[in-house]
Amino acid sequence: MSKYSPKELEEFKIRLQEIRRVLAGDLQNIEGDSLNKSQRDASGDLSGYSFHMADAATDNFDLEFNIGLASNGQQSLNHIDDALRRIDEGTYGVCEDCSKPIPKKRLMAVPHARLCIKCQEHEENQKNRP
């Protein structure tokens, strides 16, 4: 079970909901056809277009965590929704692998984290193996 108090969980929940809003808004911008069109018309070509979008996303996104927003916004949204569900279920802040509490510092940086740093590193090492 979560080691965090209802008050702390509420704070994480608000934080996650804010991030969710930012992500959802950015997704609309990135997919918005009218925006793409006006930028294409203005610049006359598409070179540098993706760089510009990456910059814009970074500007909107001054939260101090990095979840690869531009490359997979939808997946990030799923992670946020998962975290919100875990708050409701009372399992938020517990590592899914080793069942140890995830430190608050990590959750402040990565509110949707489902693994502790050790298990996260382990998982990434597994993935990087040929």
Footprint on this chain of Zn ion (rule: CB under 5 A): 95, 97-98, 116, 119
Taking the complex as a whole, the smallest distance from the CB of residue 38 to Zn ion amounts, in Å, to: 47
Taking the complex as a whole, the smallest distance from the CB of residue 122 to Zn ion amounts, in Å, to: 8
Q: What is the DSSP string of 57-103?
A: HHHH--SS----TTT-HHHHHHHHHHHHHHHHHT-TTB-TTT-PBPP
Taking the complex as a whole, the smallest distance from the CB of residue 74 to Zn ion amounts, in Å, to: 26
Smaller CB separation from Zn ion, 98 or 109: 98
Query: Which amino acid type is present at position 52?
Result: H
Smaller CB separation from Zn ion, 73 or 93: 93
